[in-house]
Structure 1
Amino acid sequence: MIQTGDHHRRLLWALSEAGQASRTELAAAAGLSKAAVTAATRELIGSGLIAEAEQVRRAGRPSTLLTLRSGAVWFAGLSLRPGRGRIVLCDMKGHIAGRRDLPGRRDPHEICATLESDLEALLADCGVERDAVYGMGISISGVVSPEQDVCIRSTLMGWNDVPLGRMATAALGMPVLIENDANALAIHEKLFGGISGDSLALVSVGVGIGGALFIGRQLFRGAAGGAGEFAHITVAPGGAPCICGKRGCLDTVASMRAVATAAEEAGLEETSLDALERAAAHRGDSRAIAILHRAGEALGLALAHLIQIVNPGHVIVRMEADTVDGLYATALAQSLDANVLPQMRERTALDVGTALEGGHAAGAASVAAHRLLLTPNTKQRKMA
């Protein structure tokens, strides 16, 4: 058993970003002396959290690379959405070892009442002992307290001031942290997506739209925990009513729900984004083309505003669709390019891709890893 002190967590964070690194590289990345790195890596190797990998020959003598050990510690993740839930088990590299789909429950007491049995069934599937699980994260659509224990508001779940994190911690007897679902995805991308640099913006496009920001390698929450409410940027003043109570929000134009609504109103049989992309590409359907172009253009404009204000090094768009290189994405990129200063666009990497299968639950597990193990300057915790 070891105490994950500041030096340990700095090194674990650096390895999560790099994948593999030498002790010299870790010293530079973590801002530690070589002596401190030597001592801390010895303890981490002894605890089984990291391992020596291969030797590489560079200038001077060969260097031994270090890497995180996949099965040393496990993190559970639970995603909650109206109508469905999912629980996964992830290792320290963010890999999903097992998953289970769960009934969609809205009552927080019902969710916590079955949490123990849901986790035990998943662990049995994976052949993992309970003592090897370091904590759980829960992702939800909504605003979460900075302490990650209270859901301040979730319109989709119909919650206000629900202490879900505390309830789940009591039910499981292990640390449980809750997080906004887009924030959870951003944490997963930052820890395990191979993204270097200090800043990124993530936008998730599904039934609704979510947003998250990493600034200075820290998740930016804002004064009231609501930073990243990207869905409710106004893009069509006086437009369609939004579930938030406003009109013309990005969510009413560019989300999968908005696209499906527009398709139904246009009399199209195809309502999913993938089906509309096929209708546009194969039949040249003008209605499908107009809907996809309007949605992608609105998202691109909103992203341009985001880049102008925050200037992130990476913008990641994760879509719950198979077609991520069609008209929607093309209109997005064109709109972004047309509405952002060229010098800022040149320094911002844009990555549009399909959301990871089980991504929200994997993101939830990453929340536990990020807070409990990998984040520097957090309270020390014992780790088996």
Structure 2
Amino acid sequence: MGMDIARSSLLNLSAVSTAIRMPAGVAELSCVLDGVSVVRRHNGWECEATRQPHSSVRCLVELVRAAATKGVVDTMTTRSEPEHGRPDPGLSAIMSERRQLINLAYRLLGSLADAEDVVQETYARWYAMSRQQQEAIESPGAWLTKVASRVCLDLLGSARARRERYVGEWIPEPLPDHAEWISGRPGGTTVDPADRVTLDESVSMAFLVVLESMTPAERVAFILHDVFCHSFAEVAEIVGRTPAACRQLASSARRRIRASRAPTAPAAQQAGIVRDFKQAWEAKDIDALIGLLDPDATGIADGGGLVSAVLRPIEGGEQVARYALDIVGRVPNLTILERRVNGQPGLVAQQDGVTVVVMAFDVAGDRIKHIWAVRNPEKLRPWTVGPQH
């Protein structure tokens, strides 16, 4: 989606310009723009080296992004006003909502990249308000949740049209378990805890796939009420319907969830079956693979039109097994790793240290019912950096 704030239809240029105000208690903010260190002192930008005014709107956008991504006090060099002596405590409180917003937006959209864009947009709208407007909001956290949910609701409507034009099958963006990828980002920096999505049943691939079958209103009502424990009165204000109607939306969503669920195997058993699949895959043992798959198993691949992948679901255990072997045959020198995918046992295939496939599994009893193979490189970026063992 890539909602660049400078181009966003939701936030015009004048709003961006007014969005950057000095937080209470901070006299100076600095950041680097295109290699030039710029500093904002008392609401005016200037080049740190020449002390000449710096009016680039990109500098404003850069600070909006930084504030929305990490929080001003964490990403900028700050110096407190002598008369105040400390930063505005409300600023940290606002930024502490980021992780909750990321968790919400990912469950609503099924895309971490889109979720980050939504959170960025939400914070930009907050900073576009005057200080008086901000102080008039009784619960900033509730305000941020409401705005993020409404942005997601709008995006869910347009996402359906985009996915109709998507090449092949669309699979939710897979999430790594950061405990397994300790090295984090390039350069040795670790992943900010605020960027992590809490891994539980509500982000399992099987769960997210069912969410994709819901209407936007059903999905928002269900996630807000059943996962994030908001009242139907609060949901109604976000969705624009009555509390009774929102109750019906959530009830309809629950029926979809129940209809799709099969008895799941214990976690240890799931991990063992996925491990057996890995060993059979590496050995190119077609009979062993077929034995691990339910006869009615389905396999879905997502290449996004960027890499070769089957365009329609594969049905039948034998056909799924043969497709798995076909991947190994077409991509030589694969290293297959056991990794948790969206909190569940999964597999990651790498070629020369670059992740080329992430596989999520739905295990029922002692057989694999569904496999989702994500090959779209745009969805695999968080999976490439990590230990290669």
TM over 0.5: no
Higher relative contact order (CA 8 A, sep 6+): 1
